[in-house]
Structure 1
Amino acid sequence: MKIGRYTVCGLLGRGGMGAVFKARQPVTGRIVALKVLKPSDMMEMLVEQDELIARFESEARIMGKLDHPNIAAIWDYDIADGTPFFIMEYFCRNLGMVIGESYRVEAPTRKLPLTTAVSYASQTLDALYRMHQAGIVHRDVKPFNLMITGLDEIKLIDFGLSRLRGEVQPTSAAKGERIGSPYYAAPEQEAAPDSVDGRADIFSVGVMLYRMLTGVLPTDEALYTNNVVPRASQYSLDLDSEWDTFFDTAMAFDPEKRFSTAKEMRTALNALVEIWRERVDNECRFIDEFAETPPCPTDASVLRTEPVKARLDEAQRIFGLDSLWRPDCVGMADLVENGDGTVTDAATGKMWQQSGSEFACTWDEAHAYVASLNEQKFAGYDNWRLPTVDELSSLVQEPPELGAFCIPQLLDSAQDTLWTCDTKSYMAAWFVSASMGFVGWQDMTCQFAVRAVRG
């Protein structure tokens, strides 16, 4: 199937305004994201066709003129068989996938390490500050609209609901149309979506950061009655009363009581992180870095070494994962540095690369990388291979909190999202996120790191 000059490789997702496809450019073969105007039945009932086209063109124009490292780039706009489409940068991961948010948005999600969560929030605020300076309010900031590159950079997407300062058309809300996403949209956005300013986006970032750090949504009624956000500090040792105050401001019911700009919120967040680093340093003075944690029951013989093909409906059982796709048992590794770029896990007898691939690569390139290790006899061995999910899961630790940051890490943290040899289909394979401790799958054309294993 083709849309214009582009070959469609698969559907990535649908929204109210359109559908997004993974596509391939002619000649170069580069993978791109192709968004085509394909409104839902409900949207067609609420909004006239001319208005829909005007909104679609407006989204492309807005994204096209905002040149910022944390805003996804638009490369092309065209019309095929009477239907407009535009071409964007393609990224495999988004924040919604990383935290494990499902169609049951209110269900608990995975917590992220504080440094990772703050990095994602800060980059989002940088993107929003650029937008707001240009007089644009996004109005739909949520995890699934934050793409994540192979270098852990945030790319803000989906400007279909964005509004230029002072404009009435083409992006004003139709009667009965809901602007924004439940749980993430600011309260004033539901009441008067065409009158909101950048502080509505600030509210959304507050909700996302709260969720990244706690694994839950701040949905307590107190948020809307007494302007008191449920205490984030009850969910994490990393958070204290200063963080509670921060969230009270970020998600204040009254926009006048929120941070006035995205830049102001980022400055406040930076100050909190500095205080947190001091807390970590103080904790490290008293922690025993060699303190033992209860070992997981393990036997080297039961760690599968042969690749398997695991369908989505059976993967949790095959890999031994919980409802959020995390290994049932973590912290089993007992690593010893060998001094030659490798570490040995005394618990399983496996030898691992201490670092891994310098660059993210596709699944096919991952196999080629391992082959090159064997050709050069890395560390004196020629039997390196791509690990199974079971083997990589044995390295997973709990996301760190306070004192856990003090313990020296023998494995290079630069290689975090790692390919396995296990496949989901002939086009997709399974990966493991080391720092966030979960298993996921992606198209084999996505780019992740490699950490080879032997033994």
Structure 2
Amino acid sequence: MSDDKKSSIPSREERPAEGGSRAGGGFDTMLGRVMIDRGLVSDSELQQAINRRDLDPGGSLADVLLNAGFVTNSQMDRVRSEIESERSTQRIPGYKIMRKLGSGAMATVFLARQISLDRLVAIKVLPRRYSDNADFIARFQKEGRAAAKLNDPNIVAAYDVGNSGDHHYFVMEYVDGDTVYDRITANKRFEESQAISVANQVASALRHAHDRGFIHRDIKPKNVMITKDGLVKLADLGLARALSDKEAAEAEAGRAFGTPFYISPEQIRGKVDIGPQADIYGLGATLYHMVTGSVPFKGKSPSEVMHRHLKEPLVAPDHLNPGLSSGLAQVIEMMMAKDPADRYRNAEELLEDLALVDAGQKPRHAGGAIDIASVVSMGDDAENLAPVMASRANENRSGGLTILLIATLIGSVLLNLALLAFLAGNA
């Protein structure tokens, strides 16, 4: 094809973000680009639509695409929303938008360059439809403020929170990598050593957050990012809450906040006193998914999944993945105990057990009662055992003594009854 006969559709580099020779030209140009980029229309279909639009001075490209049946109303609505978000970010002072990274129901994330520091950043933009919703705006700003108070290599850093016109944005560290969810989707499951490495880094991030009085409340594979160098970053503090924020806890009482596949039982019940153990449960469910390739509990609806979190026993992860070590299986089972009191008390204990399992040793806190004989042989080292394990050992030992005592009493009663019967028969 000769140059003078090439399609008049501008290339991605040539398409302007604003402007145009006709009313709505800027929007139509962006609309055409997005339609092509998303594969919703072909070059020839877009060119047909442009030609039809040009025959009607008052027409719009969107109307032509819809009337011609090239796209559906729902597809057009999604594209309009994306364009509005992209146009709004073009007006955020101090940043040059480069491309969209992803979008969800609550926000769209763009890759941008911070002009003053010449560094890549990610900008999260609240959809325009929520710009008048005080609750959504407050939650969005709360995420930024929470992230700004945390400074840990395993947590995505926050740089700025603000608004441009009626659009609210949150600037954060750009992570060049993928998520745990992406890797599960591609490979089904993680090797045990890789899973332990990821869990160890997330637990370290949780230790930092918990020590500073924050709980995440939405630990899941999509919120755990991995850089190309293997560094793990915990992301999305949208549901994070200060442990000291009693007002927020009371306001949220009775409502479940979290993702059904990974939510803790106390979050499902809407408990007021939710603590760090909820994050440990979420990480346990995430780790379970990583090493088995399956979520802990399945269901046809979110309510069914959450009901199973509350009531159904967990299928041991090493039953689904026989190659999994018993040590890691025990760690996961303790992380996902129904009762928070039966889980790790804090991330520090979890980190200790993960290190032991990674070294091929038995976990110190998980796995139930210990062998009393082995404790005796340890000598002075026995006093260093975790209180939780000693407590469980004592409980089991005292329980055994109780059963033995009851059995002895029953035997004595039966013997006496037999003796009385014998004497009565000989009277």
Structure 2 length as normaliser, TM-score? 0.56
1:214 alignment partner in structure 2: 292
Equivalent runs, 1:344-355 vs 2, <5 Å: none
1:287 alignment partner in structure 2: none
Q: Which has the higher contact order (CA 8 A, sep 6+)?
A: 1
Equivalent runs, 1:127-276 vs 2, <5 Å: 127-168=205-246, 178-192=256-270, 194-219=272-297, 224-225=310-311, 228-275=313-360
Partner amino acid, structure 2, of 1:166 = S
Q: Distance in 2 between matches of 1:16 and 1:129?
A: 29
1:21 alignment partner in structure 2: 110
**In the alignment, is the contact (CA less than 8 A) between 1:18 and 1:39 conserved in 2?**
no
2:167 aligned with 1:83, yes or no?
Answer: yes
Gaps in structure 2 of 5+ consecutive residues: 1-86, 299-306, 363-427
Larger Rg belongs to? 2
What secondary structure, in the 3-state scheme, does the structure 2 residue paired with 1:87 have? strand
Pairwise CA distance, 1:9: 2.7
What secondary structure, in the 3-state scheme, does the structure 2 residue paired with 1:179 have? coil
Q: 1:226-264: CA deviations, max 9, x gaps? A: 6x4212112334324333332221101111111111111
Which of 142, 147, 165 is residue 63 of structure 1 equivalent to?
A: 147
**In the alignment, is the contact (CA less than 8 A) between 1:112 and 1:213 conserved in 2?**
yes
Equivalent runs, 1:431-450 vs 2, <5 Å: none
Gaps in structure 1 of 5+ consecutive residues: 102-108, 278-455
Mark the CA change 1:15 to 1:222 in structure 2 (over 3 Å): closer, same or farther: closer
Equivalent runs, 1:314-353 vs 2, <5 Å: none
2:97 aligned with 1:8, yes or no?
Answer: yes
Higher strand fraction (1 or 2): 1
**In the alignment, is the contact (CA less than 8 A) between 2:263 and 2:281 conserved in 1?**
yes
Q: Distance in 1 between matches of 2:215 and 2:230?
A: 24
**In the alignment, is the contact (CA less than 8 A) between 1:21 and 1:35 conserved in 2?**
yes
**In the alignment, is the contact (CA less than 8 A) between 2:254 and 2:270 conserved in 1?**
no
Mark the CA change 1:170 to 1:34 in structure 2 (over 3 Å): closer, same or farther: farther
Partner amino acid, structure 2, of 1:20 = V
What secondary structure, in the 3-state scheme, does the structure 2 residue paired with 1:275 have? coil
Pairwise CA distance, 1:8: 2.6
2:119 aligned with 1:30, yes or no?
Answer: yes
Mark the CA change 1:53 to 1:209 in structure 2 (over 3 Å): closer, same or farther: same
Structure 1 length as normaliser, TM-score? 0.53
Partner amino acid, structure 1, of 2:92 = G
**In the alignment, is the contact (CA less than 8 A) between 2:252 and 2:272 conserved in 1?**
no
Q: Which runs of 4+ in 1 moved over 4 A?
A: 168-178, 220-223
Mark the CA change 1:179 to 1:265 in structure 2 (over 3 Å): closer, same or farther: same
Q: 1:247-293: CA deviations, max 9, x gaps? A: 2211011111111111111211211222269xxxxxxxxxxxxxxxx
Pairwise CA distance, 1:182: 1.3
Q: Distance in 1 between matches of 2:100 and 2:269?
A: 34
Q: Percent identity?
A: 32
Pairwise CA distance, 1:197: 0.8
Q: Distance in 1 between matches of 2:247 and 2:128?
A: 18
Aligned positions, number: 264
**In the alignment, is the contact (CA less than 8 A) between 1:184 and 1:207 conserved in 2?**
yes
Q: Distance in 2 between matches of 1:197 and 1:78?
A: 30
2:199 aligned with 1:121, yes or no?
Answer: yes
